[in-house]
Structure 1
Amino acid sequence: MKILVTGGAGFIGSAVVRLAVARGHEVVNVDALTYAADLRNVGDAADSDLYSFEHADIRDRGSLDRILATHRPDIVMHLAAESHVDRSIDGPAAFIETNVIGTFNMLEAARAYWDREGRPETFRFHHISTDEVFGSLGETGQFTETTAYDPRSPYSASKAGSDHLVRAWHETYGLPVVLTNCSNNYGPYHFPEKLVPVVILKALSGQSIPVYGDGGNVRDWLFVEDHADALLLVAEKGDLGRSYNIGGENEVTNIDLVRTICAHMDELHPEGAPHADLITFVTDRPGHDRRYAIDPTRIRSELDWKPSVTVEQGLRRTVEWYLANRDWWQPLLEREGVGKRLGTG
C-alpha cells in the first residue's frame, strides 16, 4: 500500500512510519515540523526508497491538494495534532486551528482527491484520536466506542470536534473513514515534556520529579510500537465508518508509574539512587481528569489484536532507550516551553 501519514515526524506518527516502511509499505510523511516534531524520529526509514517527506501544514489546503494529487495514496492516516494538555490550557487557539480546522482541511482535501480518482473502493481515511474525548471515569468502568463524549480540556475538546467532523463526512459524503481512540502512549522518541520522559530525565539529572496533585490519577498505558501495529491493522482491515478503542490494558496511577520508572533507573543508572527520593508533589493542573480506562473488546474480537508489551516491560525498554540516546533528547530540551511548568491556568 501507499500510505500518507500526517504528523509522521511526531511521536506516534513516526512509530507508524517506521513500522509501515519495515513492512514494505510506501510512506509519504507530511509534517509541519512544529516544536514537538523531529525528522530524526523516523530512524532508518528515512534511508529507504519507500519513504518520502513533504514539509506542509494541514492548515494549508492548497498544499494538501498538491500532495494528494502528486502521491496518490491508498490510505491517509491522519495523526497530525497539537496534543499536550498543559499547552492547550495556556494557548487553546493553536489546538482549534490545527485539530479542528486542520482536520476539516484534511477531510475536504481527501474527499476531493477521492472524487477525482473515481471513488476507489480501496481508499480509506483513518483518523487517529484519543480516549480523552470521553472525559473522566470514576473508580470503575471503562470507555467503549459508544461512550458519550465529555471532553474537559481545550485539547480534548478540539479532538472531540475533529472526531465529529470525520463521522459527519462519512455520513454526509460517504467518505470511507475509520477512527481510533487510544489511551496514553509512551516509548522511544517521546517528546521530553510528557510524563514518562520527564521522570526519566529528571531522575537522570538529579532534579525534583514533579507529580501533579496526589498522584492518584489513573491512566491506561499503551506502548507506542503496539499502538502503531494496531493503527496499521485498523487502517487495512477495520470496517468503514467504525471506531476502535485501542488500549494497553495497563491501568496504573501516576504515582505508581513514576515509582516504577524510578526503580528501573535505580537498577540501570544507580548514580543518584534511590531516585524515588526526588518525587515532589506539585499543584494539580486545572480540570485534571481522574481516570481513563479502555475497553478493548471490539478490536480484540473483530480484528484479533491485543497489546504485546506490559507496562513493566515497556517502561524498562523506554528507560533503556533514553539512557542510550542522549544525542536525540538533549537538543530538544532547548525548545520553547520544555522544562517549564505549563498549564497552571
Structure 2
Amino acid sequence: MEVLALNAFGAAYRGRRVLVTGHTGFKGSWLCLWLQALGAHVTGVALDPPSDPSHWQLLKLSIDDKRIDIRDEAALRRVFAAQRPEIVFHLAAQPLVRRSYQEPVATWATNVMGTVNVLEALRHTPEVRAAVVVTTDKCYENREWPWAYRENDRLGGHDPYSASKAGVELAVASYRAALLQHPSAPLLATARGGNVIGGGDWSQDRLIPDVVRAVVAGESLAVRSPHSTRPWQHVLDCLSGYLLLGQRLLAGDTTCAEAWNFGPDGHGNRTVEQVLADLARVWPQVQWHMVTSPQPHEAKLLQLDSAKAKTHLGWRPAWDVEQAIRHTADWYRRLLEAGQVSSADALSTYVADAVDSGLNWATG
C-alpha cells in the first residue's frame, strides 16, 4: 500500500505542505488519511468533529490539528502564515440540506463568508500554489430534467445549503478573475461531487448514517424520499478526483483552474429505494419503511455529467455503485461487530483496484 500510495498522482504530494479545511468531517478525514499515505505534511483547520463517534477520532492521525472556525478570518490568516501551505483543499462547510432550513444564517456565513476568508488567507500567503474548493452537485439550478448537469449549466439552489454553495462558486470565480490574475497567483479550481458514501459518516439526515443508527437500534429506518434519484459514489472515488485536480494545478496547468464535476457513471444514478435494496442484500439487518408526513423541499432528480473530467483529466471512478455500497457496508460491519477501523485497508484495496484498472493517477 505505501509504495502504491507514494507513487500515485506522480508523487505530487510527497513532502508537500498541504492544508485541509474541514479535516474533522467525513470527507476531510478520509482526505487526510490519503494525503498522509502520499507522504504529505498535513495541517487541518476545522471545528471539533461533528459527531460522536467520528471517523476523525477513530483514525487517530498525527497531523497539525488546528480547531478554528473559518468564520474567524484573523485566526485563519495566522494559521496560513505559520504553516505556509503549498496547496489548500477547502472542505469546511455546513454540509446538510435539512439543517440549512433550521440554521440559514449560519449556513450562509460558514459556506460563503467562510470560503471568502479562506480565499483571502491563501491570496496573502505567497507559498500557496494551488487550491481546490469543494462545493456540491446541488449547486446547480435544479430543473428536475432527465439529463445530467454539466459545469457550464446555470447555478442556483432552492434551500439555503444549495444556494450558499452556488454562492461559493460565484465567489471563487470572482477571486480567480479579479484578484488572482498576477503571474505568481495560485491556481484556483472548484470540485462538485455527487452523493458520497463510505465508512465513517455519522451525519444527521444522510441515508447511510441513518441506516447504521437504525441497525444499531434494531429498528426499521423511516425513509422520506424513496424515489429521489442521486449520483451515488464512494468517498475515495470523489477524493481521487480532488487529488488529481490538485496535482494538475500544482504542475501549473492553468486550463484546470475552473469548475469540475466528479460523479459516478450513469449506472450510479439510483433512487434511494434502489440503494437501500442493494445495501440490504449485503447487510441483511437493514430494514426500512416509507414516511408520508410533509417534509422540507429537496430535489427529486439530480445527475452529474463528468465527461469533462474524464476527457481532460483522465479521471473515472475505480468502483461502481455496487462496489461502493459493499465496501461501505463492510466498513460499518467490521466496526460494529469487531471494533475494527478498516479505513487504511479500504484505501489500500481502492488504490490496488485503481492500478488494476489502469487509472492514470494510480500508476504514477
TM-score of the two chains, using structure 2 as the length reference: 0.80
Q: Does 1:298 align with 2:320?
A: no
Equivalent runs, 1:52-201 vs 2, <5 Å: 52-114=64-126, 123-138=129-144, 140-174=146-180, 175=185, 176-193=187-204, 194-201=206-213
Q: 1:43/1:19 Cα in 2 relative to 1: closer, same or farther (>3 Å)?
A: farther
Deviation at 1:178, TM superposition (A): 0.8
Q: Does 1:256 align with 2:274?
A: yes
CA contact (8 A) 2:245 2:256 kept: no
Using the TM superposition, give the Cα deviation of residue 223 of structure 1 relative to its aligned residue in structure 2, in angstroms.
0.3
Q: Deviations over 1:117-175 (max 9, x none)?
A: 5xx7xx01211010101133535210111010121111011111111101100100115
Secondary structure at the aligned position of 2:190 is classed as strand
Structure 2: gaps (5+ residues): 1-15, 250-254, 342-364
Are 1:4 and 2:15 an aligned pair?
A: no
Structure 1 position 103, deviation (Å): 0.7
Q: SS of 1:288's equivalent?
A: coil
Q: Distance in 2 between matches of 1:218 and 1:33?
A: 32
Tell me what 1:23 maps to. Answer: 38
| 8 Å Cα contact 2:18-2:86 kept in structure 1 | yes
1:178–1:242: 8 Å Cα contact kept in structure 2?
Answer: yes
Task: Quickly say closer, same or farther: Cα 1:13–1:53, change in 2 above 3 A.
Answer: same
Tell me if the contact between 1:203 and 1:262 (Cα under 8 Å) persists in the aligned partners: no
Corresponding residue number in structure 1 for 2:321:
311
Root-mean-square deviation (Å): 2.1
Query: Contact conserved, 1:210 with 1:282, CA < 8 A, in 2?
Result: no
Question: 2:50 & 2:340 partners in 1: Cα distance?
Answer: 14
Distance 2:166 2:53 in 1: 26
Kindly tell me: are residues 108 and 192 of structure 1, through their superposed partners in 2, closer, same or farther at Cα, counting changes over 3 Å? closer
Which residue matches 2:349?
none
SS at match of 1:17: helix
The farther-off stretch of 26-35 and 157-166 is 26-35
Q: Which amino acid aligns with 1:172?
A: A
**Are the equivalent residues in 2 in contact too, given 1:58–1:106 (CA < 8 A)?**
yes
**Superposition deviation, residue 308 in structure 1:** 0.8
Q: Which amino acid aligns with 1:281?
A: V
Deviation at 1:75?
0.4
Distance in 1 between residues matched to 2:58 and 2:149, nearest whole Å: 34
Amino acid of the structure 2 residue aligned with 1:262: A
Report the equivalent of 2:283: 265
Question: Which residue identity lines up with residue 324 of structure 2 in the other structure?
Answer: G
For the structure 1 residues 285 and 135, does the alpha-carbon distance in structure 2 shift closer, same or farther, using more than 3 Å as the test? farther
Q: Name whichever of 2-11 and 134-143 sits farther off.
A: 134-143
Change in 2 beyond 3 A, CA 1:156/1:328: farther
1:245 aligns with 2:261: yes
Give the TM-score, by structure 1 length. 0.84
In terms of mean alpha carbon deviation, does 28-37 or 182-191 score higher? 28-37
**C-alpha contact 2:192 2:259 (8 A) present in aligned 1:** yes
The one-letter code of the counterpart of 1:230 is: G
**Are the aligned partners of 1:222 and 1:248 in contact in 2 as well (CA < 8 Å)?**
yes
Asked if the contact 2:53/2:202 (under 8 Å) is kept, the reply is no
Q: Which residue of 2 aligns with 1:32?
A: 47
On the 8 A contact 1:29/1:54 being kept in 2, the answer is: yes
Q: How far is 1:108 from its partner?
A: 1.1
Mark the runs of 5 or more structure 1 residues left unpaired by the alignment. 270-274, 330-345
Separation of aligned partners in 1, 2:293 and 2:307 = 36
- The answer to whether structure 1 residue 231 and structure 2 residue 242 are counterparts is yes
Q: 1:40/1:206 Cα in 2 relative to 1: closer, same or farther (>3 Å)? A: closer
- Paired residues in the alignment total 311
